[in-house]
Amino acid sequence: MCGIVGIFARSYVNQTLFDALTVLQHRGQDAAGIVTSEGNRFFMRKDNGLVNEVFRTRHMKRLVGNLGIGHVRYPTAGSSSSAEAQPFYVNSPYGIALAHNGNLTNAEQLADDIFRADLRHINTTSDSEVLLNVFAHELQQLGKLNPSPEDIFAAVAKVHQRCQGGYAVVAIITGYGVLAFRDPHGIRPLVYGQRIVNGQAEYMVASESVALDTSGFAKVRDIVPGEAIFIDRDGGLHLQQCTQQQMLAPCLFEYVYLARPDSIIDGVSVHESRMLMGVRLAEKVLKEMPNHDIDVVIPIPDTSRTSALEMAHTLGVTFREGFIKNRYIGRTFIMPGQTQRKKSVRQKLNPIASEFKDKVVMLVDDSIVRGTTSKQIIEMARDAGARKVYFASAAPEVRFPNVYGIDMPTASELVAHGRTAKEVGDYIGCDWMLYQDLDDLKSCVTQLNPAITAFDTCVFDGQYVTGTVDRAYLDRLEQKRSDDAKNPLNNADPDADIDSDTSADLHTRIE
């Protein structure tokens, strides 16, 4: 997962882009980048690190212009070196900068086609650079010195025909405007909003509505699957459906874990959907253990707090905060490498012993992926004096890798792959393991928006909605995503010791 944002304004957009990326930081902590445009020139800054680490005052001063796009990244396809930071840029045609959230499942074939047929060179292993070159080629094929919005939409339609997978995209075409589009299945989220400044409209597109809220933009609506939005340099808004075959199938894991609770995705409040997840879990407890002996429900902060609170309320059981979270440790799910994840869990959470001593505790988490975090947390609860430790997951068993933009581990590294719920419980050391049912999880979203009739549920059931994922692709993915492949000793960055201001300070003006 990554976070993207694009803005057209009547004044400089650098600070608004920075603010938007800051509230999207949960979607990627590996790298951040901004490109702005003034006249016919681009200004770029990108590097590894958090938003407030990558952008200093000296960088912000150079990011001039009233058009801009931004990106926060964590590694999905490609490495974690600064060379993979987005946005990417090509100078032909016109000059295009692009940032992307998602994953192309046919990126390798496209890269080969681009080289052999389109005569374009791909400089990184990122599928985002592939997507950019596909779009640039299709736009160039039109042969227009001054492309119209219809020409740009025609190029997007060609992208949809060539690219497979999940993707939400923002781009700037130098001298023309800001473009954004969403894949034909709407797997990755994308929303746009408007604000009025001195009687004139300004626009923002972003991965989540919370980016609009914090910058004073009123949400207009989600970009629908296959649709593109283009804001020209004069502020004209253009929208067009760019594919004849589209079906809304948003990623169900967005509601469980990825998105902020104060976001609204495809008409569904993430917060309210997580409340319903807690209710459904409580109903399952009452069904499977009507005479339960739970004394207290304790969430694993932060994502599961909403579900845990509603679960406790429905059960009529005390809710307590039992773990204190270190705010300065990143999300362990998106830390590359098992060793780093194991080390960070103890640094991230510390139990309040009095909430556990001599109690039967129901711990609630949003999901269980590798089981690393869960196992250590249960050990903490027992060390703090819990008499019994039950564990509930607001999501069903995660048994399959994601291929549409979430860097799920390989199947063999998923704790639930090939195990029953009881076997998972035994492995992580709890007295009772409770998973959400997939149909119940779906209902937590569809109850809030009945218009959503399909989801990307591949991590739970191995069903890939694009219909283009085969065993060979999954095998190649496993080679790239395993913890061994991500071991920094096996994948040393030759530039790792070079000062970032000289090796990756890409704020240089592109003319």
Active site residues: 2
What is the amino acid identity at position 450?
A: P
Cα 440 to Cα 446: distance, rounded to the nearest angstrom = 10
Q: Are 390 and 361 in contact (CB under 8 A)?
A: yes
Q: How far is CA 106 from CA 76, 167, 192, 403, in A?
A: 14, 12, 28, 11
- Tokens 């964590």, residue? 74
What is the spatial order of strands in the sheet that 31-38 belongs to?
218-222, 191-197, 200-206, 3-8, 67-73, 31-38, 41-48, 509-510
- How many CA within 13 A on the CB side of residue 461? 13
CA atoms within 13 A on the CB side of 231: 23
Is 461 annotated in a binding site? The answer is no
Annotate 343-363 with three-state secondary structure. Answer: HHHHHHEEECHHHCCCCEEEE
> Is 365 labelled a binding residue?
yes
Nearest of 284, 287, 294 to residue 393 by alpha carbon: 284
R_g (Cα) of the chain, nearest Å: 23
Decide: 413 and 482 in contact? Cβ < 8 Å: yes
SS3 assignment, position 210: helix
303 is in an annotated binding site: yes
Q: Locate tokens 């004394």: which residue?
A: 295
* Binding positions: 303, 365-366
* Binding positions for Mg(2+): 303, 365-366
